A = this chain, B = another copy of it.
Amino acid sequence: MDNNNMKNYIVEKAKLSKDAARALSSISTDLKNSALLAMADALLEKKDVIIKSNSLDIENGKNKGLSQALLDRLLLTEQRIIDMAEGLKQVASLPDPIGEVIKMWKRPNDLQIGQMRVPLGVIGIIYEARPNVTVDAAALCIKSGNAVILRGGSEAINSNKTIASIISEAAEKAGLPQGSIQLIEITDREAVNIMLKLNKFIDVLIPRGGAGLIQNVVNNASIPVIQTGVGNCHIYVDKDADLSMAEAIAINAKTQRPAVCNAMESLLIHKDVAEKFLPAVAKSLTSLGVELRVCNKGIDILNKESITENIKSASKEDWKIEFLDLILAVKIVDSLDEALDHIYKYGTKHSESIITNNYLTSQRFLKEVDAAAVYINASTRFTDGFEYGFGAEIGISTQKLHARGPMGLTQLTTIKNIAYGTGQIRK
């Protein structure tokens, strides 16, 4: 397809989305829920077709030499399809944010002004290998009254096509407007670049994937973007920390699921407790397969205790890296201020935690650290829509506009100011 045809194809889809969004914005909660349940049923009914399409993607992926990890993300099994259907049912069971009046106040002229939650309109989701995003993202957008345009990666194109056609057909049959859920079936990169500029039709873009994908969207979109992303998360073990709590939290934050954005990547330890805490936590972590990249002071402490296995000297680069792996940078700091400065310098404003029993220290950390989520005496792994109790998650925003941290249904809405008057005019 040449660029002109591609543009026409995408614009046509986007126009249809915009029309769908207008109708969707005032559709009843019952109808949205029954559509979600119908989508779940359709997935279960057609799981063989989905698995067949998916096997094409898996075969292509193997031929292209995709890594085992990527192939695993790509793979759809019967269980995973059941899980996707369960996800739809769960979203159906969540409260509908649309129409909620957040507050209402009366002005001296008796005008009643309020703020009502309404959908954003058309949401564009640009994502990579996991085909389950096709279902998850569509479910959250529909429940929050938005039309969705999905643009998945080339690796999952066959799975995505099949899934999108199954769920959009089921949604339409259930009574949702045509075009509520659409997939851009072009895997050419140019398709993304065209999407990024369609301000007339698309209200918001949410890129989900690696740093390259997100940077391309942020740098080139004229449509507003909600940035999700990089987490170079720290845990600071203060001199007044409960050290056994600190150890348990450090182990959890590093090893419970190392490949995710809210896992700890750097451990900062106050010098006053380093001699006691570092050897203990190093033994625990390395025995769980974690490689430590330690500052010079820390290396000295570990050497004294003859702890050397899986221990390396940290380079300056290590403070910056989101390892997403069983690797941890470790630094001894002289003070809370040094910890705050280090986090300010190297953090990505995602999730940061302090372990301390000192009240004033805890409050300074809470106040002064600028991040989507700041914890006292808890694991950074809690930055998650489900853990926050939102019942769902479309991503974790690391930007400051609109939404920050875990994004559930509410974060996919905006407000409209409403006013009940009795003839008020402005003087």
Binding site for B on A (CB under 8 A): 22, 25-26, 99, 105, 107, 111, 113, 118, 120-121, 199, 203-204, 218-219, 222, 224-226, 242, 245, 248-249, 251-253, 256, 344, 366-368, 370-379, 381-383, 387-389, 399-402, 404-406, 414-426
Contact = CB atoms under 8 A, between A and B. Distances in A.
Interface of A is mostly: mixed
Contacts of A399: 224
B402 A402 contact: yes
Given A26-B368, A404-B416, A378 B424 contact: yes
Given A372-B417, A418-B374, A421-B375, A381 B203 contact: no
A401 B256 CA distance: 34
A367 B26 contact: yes
Contacts of A120: 400-401
A245 B423 contact: yes
B203 A425 contact: no
Nearest to A222: B219
Given A111-B378, A426-B252, A426-B256, A415 B419 contact: no
A153 to B, nearest CB: 23
A424 B402 CA distance: 28
A416 B370 contact: yes
A381 B425 contact: yes
Given A118-B370, A379-B425, A389-B107, A417 B400 contact: no
Number of copies: 2
A256 B344 CA distance: 50
A424 B379 contact: yes
Contacts of A245: 423
A123 to B, nearest CB: 10
Given A374-B416, A417-B383, A401 B404 contact: no
Nearest to A246: B423
A256 B105 contact: no
Contact of A416 (B251, B371, B378, B389): B371
A107 B376 CA distance: 15
Q: Which 7 A-B pairs have the closest CB atoms?
A: A378-B421, A252-B425, A381-B426, A377-B421, A402-B402, A400-B414, A373-B417
Contact of A423 (B249, B387, B422, B423): B249
Contact of A414 (B203, B242, B401): B401
20 contacts: A113-B389, A120-B401, A121-B400, A199-B218, A226-B401, A245-B423, A252-B425, A366-B418, A373-B417, A377-B421, A377-B423, A377-B424, A378-B420, A379-B424, A379-B426, A382-B426, A388-B417, A401-B401, A401-B402, A404-B416
A254 to B, nearest CB: 11
A373 B424 CA distance: 15
A242 B426 contact: no
Contacts of A226: 401
B372 A416 contact: yes
A203 B382 contact: no
Given A118-B370, A204-B400, A400-B203, A425 B224 contact: no
Contacts of A388: 107, 113, 417
A373 B415 CA distance: 9
Contacts of A222: 218-219
Nearest to A366: B418
Given A252-B425, A253-B425, A378-B420, 7 more contacts: A25-B368, A99-B367, A118-B370, A203-B400, A203-B401, A242-B423, A387-B426
A361 to B, nearest CB: 14
A199 B349 CA distance: 14
B421 A376 contact: yes
Contacts of A372: 416-417
A268 to B, nearest CB: 17
A240 to B, nearest CB: 14
Contacts of A373: 416-419
Contacts of A219: 222
Contacts of A387: 107, 426
